[in-house]
Amino acid sequence: MDSGTASLNIVMVASECSPYAKSGGLADVLGALPKALVSLGHRVAVVLPRYMGALQVPAERINTRLPVELGGWRFDPAVCRFEADGVTYFLVEHQGLYERNGLYGDQNGEFGDNHLRFGLLCRAALEISRLYFPADIFHCHDWQAGLVPLYLKAFGGHPDPMLAAAKTVMTIHNMGYRGIFPKAKMPELSLPGWLYRADLVEFWGNISLLKAGLVYADAITTVSPTYAREIQTPDGGFGLDGLLRAKSKVVTGILNGVDYGVWNPETDTYLPAHYSVWDLSGKAECKRELLRQLGLPEAAMDRPVLGIVSRFADQKGFDLIGQVAWQLFQDDVYLAVLGSGAPYDGLFRGLRDQYPNRVGLRVGYDEQLAHRIEAGSDIFLMPSRYEPCGLNQMYSLRYGTVPVVRAVGGLEDTVQSWPPEQSTGFKFSDYTGQAFLDTVRAAVRAWSDREAWRRMMVRGMNKDFSWQAAAAGYARLYSALHPFRSGRL
């Protein structure tokens, strides 16, 4: 056990968890942090919806009708349980609400009943804890888990003594998603009208479920120290910066980690060849195979390939590439792109049509190709408008794929661009096509000095962002919330 901390029971509540349900980095965090906490001696459970994609998971149905009421209706989901790597997983099963294509929406847009889908998740998590896994801490991730602190604390303490004593941690993975719903949905979530106040759940004429979590949580974290500062400013706070400033004493940034069991070029089973700092030759083979897979010319072997793996969300800043594409391609570089969603799918399709020999594109979700782009590219691009943490730049560092990033959030905290003899990547600050182009060009010039470039790759590959440090940070936070149990006082 970590010195000064006692073993605690942690219940995590989230809408994604790798490998069972993933749309982005949230799933990677839920796939790794619980295991890392278990290895520090804590007991950890994860409560998730059982989406269509998780139906194959071999889990025991431990309850066929968990009594859960929401807005006067009985939802009574089933509960399935399984264990992996010492972590207990509870899947909340409700055919009508969860068994669909897509986690949050489909080709017709966001599902209209997401408030119910995740309201039920929060209510069910409390019941599951009461019956099967007593919690010292509820660790709630993003708006989908935001009602847990509210249901626990808003009504003068929970009648169940275990739940009444539990503390709550709310982790913000992305301020861009605040779980905003019309005020009229409040009764469906069992939220009485008095909660509709500017200092409670009201948000510009609607309600915000993230705000509900932030208001009632005992501690608030986000996924990098720089993002913890940015969200307390009008630019980064998406309208919740005032609340976060008011609670700034309980706001901290804990940098995400990398699961090197999954993201490691020495062992990655998705790759056609393996490599390490000792022998980089396999990386060239990964590049050759990537070019073949994306239909890019063999000539690109002698030029830099710029990789992108991303949700195509506005946050990711790819309009900067659109602005300078014609100048970028004058430099004889190649793009290997994998992504899904809107709005940038159109931009990349357009670039592929305009520069068919330069742009290899796959639109969709493809786990194998994500790993292959990390391994087979020379440079990795993340020009994000904002980036709470970002995992791909950390994966890139480990794969010897030098990141070019905008100096925001976790990108600022994980990529070092100065002094040159210690640098692991390239950064720019101004959100302009010119700043982005200048920085990519600097990277392309640096790539030409093959020996200096190899040293930069190796510096990045030797960086250690494993989950241990992050897990220890969360463990310290949990025990600070339970000073008597942790034996610190």
**Residue 77 to residue 143: CA distance in whole angstroms:** 21
Applying CB under 6 A, does 152 fall inside the site for ligand GLC? Answer: no
Applying CB under 6 A, does 265 fall inside the site for ligand ADP? Answer: no
Applying CB under 6 A, does 388 fall inside the site for ligand GLC? Answer: yes
- Per the DSSP assignment, residues forming a β-bridge with 337 are 308, 361
Applying CB under 6 A, does 236 fall inside the site for ligand GLC? Answer: no
Residue 52 has which token pair? 């269509």
Task: Tell me the residue nearest to ligand GLC as measured from the CB.
Answer: 25
Q: What does the per-residue mask of binding to ligand GLC show for 405-434, with x meaning CB under 6 A?
A: -----x------------------------
Name the minimum Å distance from CB 473 to ligand GLC.
Answer: 14
Residue 359 has which token pair? 């742009």
Question: Site for ligand ADP (CB under 6 A): which residue of 370, 397, 443, 461?
Answer: 370
Burial of 214 (0-12, 13-18, 19+ CB in 10 A): buried
Number of residues in contact with ligand GLC under rule CB under 6 A: 14
**Residue 95 to residue 78: CA distance in whole angstroms:** 9
Question: Site for ligand ADP (CB under 6 A): which residue of 222, 226, 232, 310?
Answer: 310
Applying CB under 6 A, does 28 fall inside the site for ligand ADP? Answer: yes
Applying CB under 6 A, does 311 fall inside the site for ligand ADP? Answer: yes
Applying CB under 6 A, does 173 fall inside the site for ligand GLC? Answer: yes
Applying CB under 6 A, does 16 fall inside the site for ligand ADP? Answer: no
Q: Which stretch binds ligand GLC (CB under 6 A): 18-26, 86-94, 238-246, 366-374?
A: 18-26
Q: Distance of CA 453 to CAs 192, 358, 424, 445, 457, Å? A: 60, 22, 10, 10, 6
**Residue 218 to residue 153: CA distance in whole angstroms:** 10
Q: Which stretch binds ligand GLC (CB under 6 A): 115-123, 339-347, 359-367, 385-393?
A: 385-393
- Name which of ligand ADP, ligand GLC, none residue 223 binds, using a CB cut-off of 5 to 8 Å depending on partner kind: ligand GLC
Question: Site for ligand ADP (CB under 6 A): which residue of 355, 365, 431, 447?
Answer: 365
Residue 355 has which token pair? 């520069």
- Name which of ligand GLC, ligand ADP, none residue 367 binds, using a CB cut-off of 5 to 8 Å depending on partner kind: ligand ADP
Angle at 417 between CA 414 and CA 419, to 5 degrees: 125
Q: How far is CA 90 from the centre of its chain?
A: 20
Applying CB under 6 A, does 208 fall inside the site for ligand ADP? Answer: no
Q: Which stretch binds ligand ADP (CB under 6 A): 23-31, 60-68, 224-232, 277-285?
A: 23-31
Question: Site for ligand ADP (CB under 6 A): which residue of 45, 186, 294, 338?
Answer: 338
**Residues near 419 by Cβ (< 8 Å), separated by ≥ 6?**
none
Applying CB under 6 A, does 206 fall inside the site for ligand ADP? Answer: no
Question: Site for ligand ADP (CB under 6 A): which residue of 309, 408, 461, 477?
Answer: 309
**Residue 376 to residue 149: CA distance in whole angstroms:** 44
Taking a C-beta distance cutoff of 8 angstroms, is the pair 380, 393 a contact?
Answer: yes
Residue nearer to ligand ADP on the CB measure, 141 or 441: 141
Q: Which stretch binds ligand ADP (CB under 6 A): 85-93, 197-205, 326-334, 337-345?
A: 337-345
Taking a C-beta distance cutoff of 8 angstroms, is the pair 447, 455 a contact?
Answer: no
**Residues near 81 by Cβ (< 8 Å), separated by ≥ 6?**
59, 60, 62, 88, 89, 90, 91, 132
Question: DSSP string of 162-192?
Answer: HHHH-EEEEEES-TT---EEEGGGGGGGT--
Instruction: Return the closest-CA partner of residue 146 out of 128, 125, 130.
Output: 125
Task: Please report, as ranges, the residues that interact with ligand GLC according to CB under 6 A.
Answer: 24-26, 29, 173-174, 223, 256, 387-391, 410
Task: Please report, as ranges, the residues that interact with ligand ADP according to CB under 6 A.
Answer: 24-26, 28, 309-311, 338-340, 365-367, 370, 389-392
